[in-house]
Chain A
Amino acid sequence: MILLNCPNCGPRNVQEFRFGGEHNPRPAAPLAVDNAEWTDYLFLKANKLGVQKEWWYHRAGCRLWFLAERHTQSNQVLKTYCWTARPNREGETCVE
């Protein structure tokens, strides 16, 4: 992978970005989770061989945290988009 498409800035050299790990939503009610759920959230990973939804940060650019869907073997990026708190009509997508 050489280029990554920032939803804000367009295609940029991947070295401008920092990888933020796989998408792992925080438990909806953090105070109500038991130890097993908390361990799962903190440490356990799907570590998917295939298309993975993941975080990226445009560190040397607009400093936007955004989501990408990338195949972890070929490193092909299928799409990148902004995160939104409320799901809109296209799921979590606001910009593609």
Chain B
Amino acid sequence: MSFKLIKQAFSSGQPPPMWKPQPLKDRYDVVIIGGGGHGLATAYYLAREHGITDVAVLEKRYIGSGGSGRNTAIVRSNYLTPEGVRFYDESVKLYGQMSEEFDFNVMFSRRGHLTLAHTDGAVRTMRRRAEVNRLQGVDSRLIWPDELARLCPPLDLSDHPRYPVQAALYHPPGGIIRHDAVVWGYARHAVRRGVHLHQLTEVTGITVEKGKVTGVNTRRGRIKAGTVLNVTAGWAGVIADMAGVKLPIATSPLQACVTEPLKPFLDVIIVSGSLHVYISQSDRGELVMGAAVDPFASYSMRGSFSFIEGLAGHMLELFPSLRHVRLMRQWAGLCDMTPDYSPIMGHTSVDGFLVDVGWGTYGFKAIPVSGKMMAQLIATGQTPDLIRPFRLSRFEEHNLVGEKGAASVGH
């Protein structure tokens, strides 16, 4: 690898492409709609674990152009429900092996994740989360301001802020990872195993005959398919509607921003559920910051001034020393919010039409495990135990998975 890098440095021109374009066939066993992390991971695991390589991944724009490239790249497993904790913990473990598996540095930085509690109620929730996490074997504990001050010196722990920090949930295995590298790694290795990747191929319709899916219409022509998987974020409802499936999803934008690069001073991830903000420092020194979903449902990806105003106000309560730091840019991504803050994975009422949607504000954390489980579901037809709680039929069974440990959920 290092020798290749040196050779590249002395050559002129572009580095070799990570995958070659393939022809669009008129039939695939499996058509995956959505070339984000989840779709590419599903294709990769279908090929690697189950030997199913007659797979096409269709992407409207370029891979990773949706939520996979717009999130704040945080990986953690300290959720509130046992179902959620087990699921996301498997994901963190798979992320840990990823660089080695792909021979490609995804820059996973396990730096510790701190969720601040500003009220008595929040302290109780954090204590409960720590206990649920530990019962599932996840490293997570409640810490008090003395330890917090050692872990994160720039944090204002005095009683000056409007909501003084009382305690924090400390999750050492949490970290950040380079989200584009995750997408590229899956794409490259899926294509190497024979998967077809079609960018700039927008799906315009899904054909269903006698309750069974038979193919998709795209801007580049019709494709027949045995199985169609909807793995879109933002447009999950629009795609599902093409197959006549109604989902319990409302799409809302979530905004994030980065500051100018600073010298390294923050080596943990700080989250505040009560103030609805989170912050981490990237390897380039930029502070990556995000907030809760926007106050109304929309498909718009425009930034708003009220977001910047609210975020900056709360961030300065936590880190007063940031008052002279300038923002460089802001952006928004679309979050498909479900009523119980848990995803929807598995079969629908249409035979052969599967969904892996409703990833709200927690999709990036789940990419590897979601891909692995959806691949297993497609290959065997059986729903793996790990994702059975997230089936679509849980809504008609009134058996929801209330995941209040998700980001953007207040405590």
Taking Cβ atoms with an 8 Å cutoff, the residues of A that contact B are: 1, 14-15, 18-19, 21-22, 35-36, 39-40, 42-47, 49, 54, 72-75
Let me know if A72 and B299 touch, CB within 8 A. Answer: yes
Let me know if A43 and B237 touch, CB within 8 A. Answer: no
Residue from B296, B297, B302, B396 in contact with A36 in the complex, judged by beta carbons closer than 8 Å: B396
Let me know if B247 and A47 touch, CB within 8 A. Answer: yes
How far, in angstroms, from A22 to B247 measured CA to CA in the complex? 14
Q: How far is the CB of A26 from chain B (nearest CB, A)?
A: 17
B249 interface hit (Cβ, 8 Å)? yes
Let me know if B299 and A49 touch, CB within 8 A. Answer: yes
Q: Which of B290-348 contact A (CB under 8 A)?
A: 295-300, 302, 306, 339
Q: A47-B251, A72-B251 are in contact. List 5 more A-B contacts (CB 8 A).
A: A19-B295, A36-B396, A39-B395, A47-B247, A47-B249
Let me know if B297 and A72 touch, CB within 8 A. Answer: yes
Let me know if B298 and A72 touch, CB within 8 A. Answer: yes
Number of interface residues of B (CB under 8 A): 21
Chain A residues lying within 8 Å of B339, measured Cβ to Cβ, are 43
Fill in one digit per residue for B188-201: 1 if any A CB lies within 8 Å of its CB, else 0.
00000000000000
Which of A15, A22, A46, A47 has the most C-beta atoms of chain B within 10 angstroms of its own C-beta?
Answer: A47
Taking Cβ atoms with an 8 Å cutoff, the residues of B that contact A are: 235, 237-238, 246-251, 295-300, 302, 306, 339, 395-396, 398
How far, in angstroms, from A1 to B297 measured CA to CA in the complex? 12
Q: How far is the CB of A75 from chain B (nearest CB, A)?
A: 5
Chain B residue at minimal CB-CB distance from A44 = B246
Let me know if A40 and B246 touch, CB within 8 A. Answer: yes
Chain B residues lying within 8 Å of A44, measured Cβ to Cβ, are 246-248, 395
Chain A residue at minimal CB-CB distance from B338 = A43
How far, in angstroms, from A79 to B251 measured CA to CA in the complex? 21
Q: Give the interface SS of chain A, mostly helix, strand, loop or mixed.
A: mixed
Let me know if B250 and A22 touch, CB within 8 A. Answer: yes
Q: Give the interface SS of chain B, mostly helix, strand, loop or mixed.
A: loop
Residue from B247, B248, B306, B396 in contact with A15 in the complex, judged by beta carbons closer than 8 Å: B306
Let me know if A19 and B246 touch, CB within 8 A. Answer: no
Let me know if B295 and A18 touch, CB within 8 A. Answer: yes
Let me know if B295 and A73 touch, CB within 8 A. Answer: no
Chain B residues lying within 8 Å of A14, measured Cβ to Cβ, are 296
Let me know if B295 and A47 touch, CB within 8 A. Answer: no
Residue from B247, B297, B298, B396 in contact with A21 in the complex, judged by beta carbons closer than 8 Å: B297
How far, in angstroms, from A14 to B295 measured CA to CA in the complex? 10
Q: A40-B246, A45-B250 are known contacts. Are A73 and B296 too (CB-CB below 8 A)?
A: no
Q: A43-B395, A44-B248 are known contacts. Are A49 and B300 too (CB-CB below 8 A)?
A: no
Residue from A21, A36, A45 in contact with B237 in the complex, judged by beta carbons closer than 8 Å: A45
How far, in angstroms, from A27 to B396 measured CA to CA in the complex? 16
Chain B residues lying within 8 Å of A1, measured Cβ to Cβ, are 296
Q: How far is the CB of A61 from chain B (nearest CB, A)?
A: 15
Q: A43-B395, A45-B237, A49-B238 are known contacts. Are A73 and B250 too (CB-CB below 8 A)?
A: no
Chain B residues lying within 8 Å of A42, measured Cβ to Cβ, are 395
Q: A15-B306, A36-B396 are known contacts. Are A45 and B299 too (CB-CB below 8 A)?
A: no
Chain A residues lying within 8 Å of B235, measured Cβ to Cβ, are 49
Q: How far is the CB of B237 from chain A (nearest CB, A)?
A: 4
Q: How far is the CB of B397 from chain A (nearest CB, A)?
A: 9
Chain A residue at minimal CB-CB distance from B245 = A44
